[in-house]
Homo-oligomer: A and B are copies of this chain.
Amino acid sequence: MDLPYTRIKGGVCAPRDFQGSAVSCGIKDPKSDRLDLCLIYSDRECRSAGMFTQNRVKAAPVRISQTHLRSEGVRAIITNSGNANACTGPNGMQDARNMTKEIARLLELKQRDVAVCSTGVIGLPMPMMRIEPQYEALAAGLDPKKGTDVAKAIITSDTHEKEVAISLKIGGKRIRIGGCAKGAGMINPNMATMLCYITTDANLSQTALEAATEEAVENTFNRITIDGDTSTNDSVIVLANGAAENKKIQPESKNCINFRHALQFVMNKLAKAIVRDGERVTKFIKLEVKGARSHNDAKKVAQAVANSSLVKASWNGEDPNWGRIIHAVGYSGASIREEFLNISYGSKLACEGGMQSKTNPEVLRNIVSKPEFSITVDLGLGEGEYQIYASDLSPEYVDFNRSEYAYWKQAKRDGLV
C-alpha cells in the first residue's frame, strides 16, 4: 500500500516552500507552556480548497475560512486550540476576522489569503488578550522545520500529535504531500471535531484540487467515528503551491488519478490515527458492510452499528456479541432479511443466516481481544458496500467527558464571563 510512496519527515512543512510556527499563549492552560497557537504559511501563492462541518451551528472561524477559501488563494492558516470560538455571536466573528487581519498585515498578504481555525470548548468568549500579544512572535518564528510544532499546537485531548508526509513522482517530477490532524472527541462522519491541514508542492488546477479534496475527505474523514457527535468546527484545508514545478495536473488525467490516490493515502493515515487516539479508546475496528441493497443502505448499517453504545461497550469488553450488532442492523433503517444476514469477526463467522454460527465463541473472543480487528456485516441482498473505522466506548471515555466546568471557572478568572 505504501509502495508507490516514500515516507518523508517534516509533516505539514515537508512540501517545498511551506513554513510553520507555533507558540504557547496559555489558552489551553494559563499555567502550562503547551503550544496552542500556530501558523502555516506558503512562501508562494497557493491554490486552496477546504471542506467544513455540516453541523448547522458553525463556529465563527469556519464561517470566515469558508468565505476566504472561495477566493481560492489562501496561503496561510492561523489556528488556536483550547477555545472553539463557537456560539460566540458577533464578537466571536470579529475575533476570528481580527486573527486573519493581523496575520495578513504581518505577512503582507490580503486578509482573504489567511484562513483561521479554532478548536476547544464551545460557548466561551475567545481569550483574545492571550492571543493578540503573540502575533508578532508567531509570524517571526516561521521555519520550514516546524511542521511537528504545528501538529502539536492544534491538538486538544489527543494524546499525541498526528502527522504524515510522503513524496512520489508525478509526470517525471517528485512532489510532496504533508499533513497534520487533530481529533479526540466529537468524531463522526461529516466530519468531526477535527482539524486537518494538508500541504503539497504539486502544481495542479483549481478544479483538480477541489475534486481531489472532496473525494479524499469522503473516503477517509467521513468514514470514521468515535462517539457519533459532529462538532461545530470541523475543517480540512488543502494548500497547493506548485513549488515542485511539475506540469500542471489537469482533472481526469492519469497524473490527477495518481495525485488523488496519494492525497487519499495521506488523509487515510491521519483519519485512522484520529480513531486510534480517540478519547480513552482501546480498540480500533474496521467495519465493512456488504451485500446491501444500495450503497446508502450499507452506509446506514455501518453508522448504526458503529455508533451504538451497546455495541461499542461490548467491543470494550472484548465480548464477541453479534446479537448487539444484529439489533443495530435491525434499527438502521436499511432493508434487511434476517435469514440472509451473516456477521464475521475477522474471517470467522459469528452469525450465519441470522443465527449463531458453529464457530466456537472462544475463537471469536480471541479475535476481539486484539487491539485491532475487522467486522464484516453481509446483508446478502445486493451489491451495496460501505466501510467505516470505529472505536470502542469505554467507561473512561464517559468519565473523561463528564465535565468541562473548569473552563468556565478559568473564563471567569479571566473576566470573560
In contact, A123 and B351 (Cβ under 8 angstroms): yes
Whole-angstrom CA separation of A330 from B122 in the bound complex: 13
Digitize A84-128: 1 where CB-to-B-CB distance is under 8 Å, 0 elsewhere: 101111000000000000000000000000000000011111000
In contact, A229 and B331 (Cβ under 8 angstroms): yes
* Most chain B Cβ neighbours within 10 Å, of A313, A336, A339, A351: A313
Q: How far is the CB of A216 from chain B (nearest CB, A)?
A: 22
Q: How far is the CB of A125 from chain B (nearest CB, A)?
A: 8
Whole-angstrom CA separation of A232 from B394 in the bound complex: 24
* In the complex, chain B residues whose CB is within 8 Å of the CB of A321: 403-405
Whole-angstrom CA separation of A163 from B329 in the bound complex: 32
Nearest chain-B residue to A352 (Cβ)? B89
* In the complex, chain B residues whose CB is within 8 Å of the CB of A228: 308-309
Residue from the list B122, B316, B330 in contact with A57, Cβ < 8 A = B330
In contact, A186 and B361 (Cβ under 8 angstroms): no
* In the complex, chain B residues whose CB is within 8 Å of the CB of A403: 314, 317-319, 321
**Of residues 74 to 92 in A, which have CB atoms within 8 Å of B's CB atoms?**
84, 86-89
* In the complex, chain B residues whose CB is within 8 Å of the CB of A185: 310
In contact, A402 and B316 (Cβ under 8 angstroms): yes
In contact, A309 and B354 (Cβ under 8 angstroms): no
* A interface size (C-beta, 8 A): 70
* In the complex, chain B residues whose CB is within 8 Å of the CB of A353: 89
* In the complex, chain B residues whose CB is within 8 Å of the CB of A124: 323, 356
**For the complex, is A365 an interface residue (Cβ under 8 Å from B)?**
yes
Q: How far is the CB of A74 from chain B (nearest CB, A)?
A: 25
In contact, A355 and B88 (Cβ under 8 angstroms): yes
In contact, B404 and A122 (Cβ under 8 angstroms): no
In contact, A323 and B397 (Cβ under 8 angstroms): no
In contact, B398 and A338 (Cβ under 8 angstroms): no
Nearest chain-B residue to A341 (Cβ)? B57
Q: How far is the CB of A81 from chain B (nearest CB, A)?
A: 16
Rank and list the top 5 A-B pairs by shortest CB-CB distance, nearest first: A317-B402, A122-B323, A57-B330, A317-B403, A123-B323
**Beyond the given A54-B331, A316-B402, could you list 13 further A-B residue pairs with CB under 8 A, ordered by the A residue number?**
A86-B327, A121-B323, A124-B356, A186-B310, A190-B331, A309-B309, A309-B397, A310-B401, A317-B403, A317-B405, A318-B402, A319-B403, A323-B404
What are 13 residue pairs bridging A and B, where the CB atoms are less than 8 Å apart in the complex? A56-B329, A57-B327, A57-B330, A57-B354, A58-B338, A87-B354, A89-B353, A123-B326, A123-B351, A230-B331, A313-B401, A319-B404, A394-B398
